[in-house]
Amino acid sequence: MDKLVIRGGHRLSGSINASGSKNSSLPIIAATLLAGDGTFTLHNIPDLRDITTFTQLLNYLGTETAFSDNTLQISSQNLKSLQAPYELVKKMRASIYVLGPMLARFGHARVSLPGGCAFGPRPIDLHLMAMEKLGATITIETGFIDASVKGGKLRGGDIHFPLSSVGATGNALMAAVLAEGKTTISNAAAEPEIETLCKFLIAMGSTIRGTGTTELEIEGAKSLNAIDFRNVFDRIEAGTLLAAAAITGGEITVNGVEPEQMKSVLKKFVQAGCIVETTLNSISLKSHGKLTPTDVTAKPYPSFPTDMQAQWIALMTQADGTSHITDKVYHERFNHIPELNRLGAHIEIRKNQAIVHGPQLLSGTKVMSTDLRASASLVLAGLVAKGTSEVLRVYHLDRGYEKIETKLNTLGADISREKYNEF
Ligand code: EPZ
């Protein structure tokens, strides 16, 4: 097992490139199942555990993939199995993304129910509701979702999501693009990852109106084509790197980004006392180390993203006063807090709100990762903690951050990755 050993106290400076987005790569990779001919070439795909897991699942289904230098080639001409097994699906919930495209292309799909996750229940009822609206019959037995449609072809329908769901919107889009007729999706998720999926599907030959908004209209196509496509940047990785500069009183520039997609996060950094400058494709952040306590409420895009909530809590441990961080997407996404408190933070949890009392001097010690963004928050805290911190079970971090210690060391951090054994 790997751990990150972080010697704190170094101001970060310099410039770094953002990686491709994990959360847009996954639906795009799933959407390649929709084309029966040709080979896709996907650029700017991050080299992450979740991507490896997902390509393993597609290989199991019969796709051919080749990944090198952040370019993924995929061909789905010879799919052989329509069942996504538990052993692979339990490794990553987003495996549910194969449901929509498989159902759309073959009229049948069997997908293991996804496992739970570290921060509370993550149901898939909205995914299933969307498939049923397009004519699918869904049964759940022995831990599997069995979806099929009479006559093998989905039919367009009207889908309304009672709450904003990135995954369910993605699955609905990937099912609707091959359904017969028109589909409308209201209260769709408008996250940049869904906007990128829409652009990808349009490039494949779909007709989609409303890209980037919460109201989508899709005209089903007879078939779709394999294409070359460049994936969007990872706004959560970029936000995490900016938070590393802010917490260490540093000054960095992140390149290869679209600041427009990070407005809610950049506004909070400015409120917290950082100087933020942007160009078309870069963001520079400078912090003098003095931070203003800044409240945040995580909500669907374009509000502050829940995937930056844990990182913001770590940052606010250094602010001159008390901050309130509320998560309205995942009410229990606070496993990082007991670990941050072990580093010396003083954070209380009241329902779905964290109350962070700062500034607190953090002292390095061993801390345990519990999920992807929680582990990112522990790394941020380790950067500013006195002495040495050890973040254990770094496999959580490797799911969503491409060589994060290399990037942070490039900016002046002092982190080493070491093997260790757990009792
Ligand atoms: C995506 O998860 C992201 N994952 C998550 O990022 C992110 O936190 C989340 O969107 C919210 O932005 C990927 O894109 C792979 P949702 P997803 O469906 O699609 C409820 C990370 O750190 N809901 O938008 O699973 C759900 O419980 C990961 O990179 C239902 O009730 O999230 C939640 O409260 C963590 N029924 C809310 O909707 C459903 O059928 C939003 O979830 C589906 C969701």
The answer to whether 134 and 178 are in contact (CB under 8 A) is no
> Which stretches within 302-371 are classed as H helix?
309-316, 336-342
400 touches ligand 1 (CB under 6 Å):
yes
* Full domain range(s) for residue 321: 2-18+233-419
Question: Which ligand 1 atom minimizes the distance to the CA of 167?
Answer: 19
Provide the 10 A C-beta neighbour count for residue 416.
11
Q: Which residue has the tokens 């199995």?
A: 81
- Residue 179, token pair as written in the block: 């359904």
23 touches ligand 1 (CB under 6 Å):
yes
Task: Identify whether residues 333 and 202 lie together within a single domain.
Answer: no
pLDDT single digits (tens) 283-299: 999 998 799 999 999 99
Task: Identify whether residues 402 and 342 lie together within a single domain.
Answer: yes
198 is catalytic: no
393 touches ligand 1 (CB under 6 Å):
no
Task: Identify whether residues 71 and 111 lie together within a single domain.
Answer: yes
Cα of 408 from ligand 1 centre, angstroms: 27
pLDDT at position 233 over 80: yes
Instruction: Using the 3D structure, point to which of 203, 230, 257 is the last residue of a domain.
Output: 230
Task: Identify whether residues 245 and 225 lie together within a single domain.
Answer: no
DSSP secondary structure letter of residue 135: T
3 touches ligand 1 (CB under 6 Å):
no
Task: Identify whether residues 171 and 290 lie together within a single domain.
Answer: no
pLDDT single digits (tens) 335-377: 999 999 999 999 999 999 999 999 999 999 999 999 999 999 9
Instruction: Using the 3D structure, point to which of 190, 215, 230 is the last residue of a domain.
Output: 230
Residue among 413, 333, 352 at smallest CA distance from 5: 413
The residue-averaged pLDDT of 194-222 equals 98
The predicted pLDDT at position 116 comes to 64
Task: Identify whether residues 10 and 30 lie together within a single domain.
Answer: no
Q: What pLDDT band is residue 132 in, cutting at 50, 70 and 90?
A: very high
| Substitution candidate for ligand 1 out of 329, 377, 398 with most atoms within 8 A of CB | 329
What domain count does the chain have? 2
The predicted pLDDT at position 231 comes to 98
163 touches ligand 1 (CB under 6 Å):
yes
Cα of 330 from ligand 1 centre, angstroms: 8
Task: Identify whether residues 215 and 240 lie together within a single domain.
Answer: no
What CATH number did the domain enclosing 266 receive?
3.65.10.10
Task: Identify whether residues 58 and 183 lie together within a single domain.
Answer: yes
The residue-averaged pLDDT of 101-111 equals 96
> Which stretches within 160-308 are classed as H helix?
166-176, 192-203, 235-247, 263-271
Out of 79, 113, 117, 227, which one is annotated catalytic? 117
Lowest mean pLDDT among 62-66, 78-82, 306-310, 391-395: 78-82
The predicted pLDDT at position 120 comes to 74
Nearest CA to ligand 1 atom 28: 307
The predicted pLDDT at position 291 comes to 98
Task: Identify whether residues 151 and 283 lie together within a single domain.
Answer: no
How many Å apart are CA 16 and CA 218, to the nearest integer?
38
Mean pLDDT, all residues of the chain: 96
Instruction: Using the 3D structure, point to which of 230, 251, 279 is the last residue of a domain.
Output: 230
Question: Which ligand 1 atom minimizes the distance to the CA of 400?
Answer: 29
pLDDT single digits (tens) 373-417: 999 999 999 999 999 999 999 999 999 999 999 999 999 999 999
The predicted pLDDT at position 423 comes to 83
The predicted pLDDT at position 81 comes to 78
How many Å apart are CA 82 and CA 123, to the nearest integer?
22
pLDDT at position 119 over 80: no
Task: Identify whether residues 175 and 307 lie together within a single domain.
Answer: no
The predicted pLDDT at position 111 comes to 96
The answer to whether 303 and 329 are in contact (CB under 8 A) is no
The residue-averaged pLDDT of 242-246 equals 98
Task: Identify whether residues 385 and 246 lie together within a single domain.
Answer: yes
Task: Identify whether residues 213 and 269 lie together within a single domain.
Answer: no
Q: What pLDDT band is residue 257 in, cutting at 50, 70 and 90?
A: very high
Question: Which ligand 1 atom minimizes the distance to the CA of 305?
Answer: 12
